[in-house]
Structure 1
C-alpha cells in the first residue's frame, strides 16, 4: 500500500496567532477590503513556506521533501499576492525588511540556535509588519498610526516570548524572570509614551500573567491556553481601542 504523504505545516500554536492577529488588527484599524483576502492568503502561505525552508537549512535529512513543500507554498503565495501588488504596488516595500529579517532566521536555523532571543525578535518584527501591510491595504497611509499599530503588535508578542522563556527553558533563571517583569512594565508605559493611552488595557493581562506565573513550573497545555486567551483579548481590545 502506498504511504500517504504527510502535510508539512508549522506545529507551534504561537506562530498561528502571530501570523493572524497583527494582520487582523491592521485590517480593522483601516477598513476591511476585498484586497485583504488574497493578501492574507499570500501572507499565510509565506508563513507556511518559511517552515519547511528553514527546516531544510537546519538539517540534511528529508531536505528534498522540505524544499519541495517550501517551494510549492512560496509559488502559491506569489500567485495570491499578485492582485494586492497590482492594486497597491507600495506593498512591495515590505519585502525588503522581510527578506532581511528572514536572513537572520536562516542564519540561526543553520546554527541550530532558533531559540535565541535575537531570532525571536526578528521573527516577531516580521509578523508585526503584517499589521502595517493590512492597514495600508485597507486604505491607511504611511505614518505614525501605522507605525504605532505595528509597535503594539510587536510589544505584545515580544512579551509572550519573554514569558514563555521564563516558564520553560529559563524557568530556573532569576535574571530572566526579572527581565520579563521589567519588560511587561515597560509595555504598559508604551501606549502613554506614543500617545495611545487606552491601548494600555490590552497589556494588563500579559503583565499580570508575567508577575503571577513567570518562573513557575507550568504544563505546556496550560501555557498554550493562556497564550490563546491572551492573543484573543489583545485582538479584540485593539480592534475596540486603537483610534
Structure 2
C-alpha cells in the first residue's frame, strides 16, 4: 500500500515562511449578503432568543460550504481547504443542532438548502464558481432566510406575513441589483450587456417596491434606498474603482436598505 505524501506549505514570497492555508473565503462582498436578510428578517418579524444561534449557524455555513466545495471540487491541492472545513463545519453544527431539536420544521429547510448547495457543487465542478447561476443561488439562499427568521421568531405559521413577503422582495431586489452592478464593474466590465442590465434593473427596483408598498399599505419610504442604488448604477458606474471601494459602496447600500426596513416594516 502506497502512502500519500502531504504537500509542504508554500512559502510567503520573499519571507521564507510557510503560507498557512486560508480559512476565510476570498469573496469578501458575500458577508454583506449574509447580513442583509438577517436584519430584514428581524425588522419584519421581531426578536427571539434563538436568533443569535441562528445567526451563528447561518454565517458559519457560508465559509463551511465554501471549504467543503473546495475540498470536493478544487482543481489542485484540495487539502488546503481541510483546515477551514475543520474550523467552520463543527461551529455550524453546534449552533444549528439545538435549533433543529427545538424547531423540527427546520429539517425541511435544511433539505432545501442542501438542494441549493448541490447546484453550487455542480457549478464548481464545471469551474463556473463565479457564474450568474451560482450568484443567483446565493441570492435565493439569502432570500429564503427571511421567512426562516420569521418562523423562528413567531412560529412557522407566521413565516409569510405581509411584512415578511415585503422583506423577501426587498432582499431579492437589493442582492440581485448588487450582483449585476458589481459584475458590470469587475468580471464583466467589458460586456456592455451587464451594464445595461444593471441600470435597467436598478431603475425598475424602486418602482417595484413602491407598487408593493402601495398594495400592502406599507410606507413608500421603503423604496428610498433603491432610488440611491439606481443613482449609483447610472452615475457612479466607474470600472476604474478598486474592488474594496466598490464593496464599501455596496455595503453602504445594504445598510440603507436594512435601515429602511426597520423604519417601515
Q: Does 1:169 align with 2:187?
A: yes
**Are 2:230 and 1:240 aligned?**
no
In the TM superposition, residue 3 of structure 1 has moved relative to its aligned partner by 6.0
Do the aligned partners of 2:41 and 2:150 also contact (CA within 8 Å) in 1?
Answer: yes
Q: Retained in 2: the 8 A contact 1:202–1:238?
A: no
User: Secondary structure of 2:105's partner?
Assistant: helix
1:23 is displaced (CA, Å) by 0.9
- Determine if contact 2:23/2:83 at 8 Å carries over to the other structure: no
Specify the alignment match of 1:198 in structure 2.
221
Query: How far apart, in 2, do the equivalents of 1:171 and 1:64 lie?
Result: 33
Write the distance in 2 (CA, Å) between the matches of 1:7 and 1:174.
Answer: 34
State the structure with more CA Rg: 2
> Is the deviation greater in 111-120 or in 153-162?
111-120
Deviation at 1:185, TM superposition (A): 1.9
Q: CA deviation at 1:124?
A: 1.1
Q: For residues 69 and 16 of structure 1, what CA distance do their matches in structure 2 show?
A: 16
Is the CA contact 1:98–1:126 (under 8 Å) kept in the aligned structure 2? yes
Q: CA deviation at 1:65?
A: 4.1
Q: Which residue of 2 aligns with 1:57?
A: 72
Equivalent positions of 1:131-142 (< 5 A) are: 131-139=146-154, 141-142=158-159
| Aligned with 2:237 (options 214, 218, 228) | 214
Measured in 1, the distance between the counterparts of 2:230 and 2:111 equals 33
**2:101 is aligned with 1:86:** yes
| In structure 1, C-alpha distance between the alignment counterparts of 2:78 and 2:98, rounded to whole Å | 32
Partner Cα distance (1:32, 1:83) in 2: 18
CA distance in 1, matches of 2:39, 2:49: 13
Contact 2:22/2:80 (CA < 8 Å) preserved in 1? no
On the 8 A contact 1:184/1:207 being kept in 2, the answer is yes
SS at match of 1:43: helix
2:247 alignment counterpart = 224
Unmatched 5+ stretches in structure 2? 1-16
Q: TM-score, normalised by structure 1?
A: 0.89
Normalising by structure 2, what TM-score? Answer: 0.82
Number of residue equivalences: 242
Q: Is the 2:199–2:233 contact (alpha carbons within 8 Å) kept by the matching residues of 1?
A: yes
More displaced 10-residue stretch of structure 1: 164-173 or 54-63: 54-63
Higher helix share: 1
CA distance, structure 1, for counterparts of residue 27 and residue 48 of structure 2 = 29
Q: Which moved more, 1:210-219 or 1:65-74?
A: 65-74
What RMSD, in angstroms, separates the aligned Cα atoms of the two structures? 2.3
Distance in 1 of aligned mates of 2:177 and 2:194 = 12
Q: Alpha-carbon deviation of 1:173? A: 2.4
Structure 1 residues 5, 166: closer, same or farther in 2, change over 3 A?
Answer: closer
* Counterpart Cα distance in 2 of 1:14 and 1:135: 25
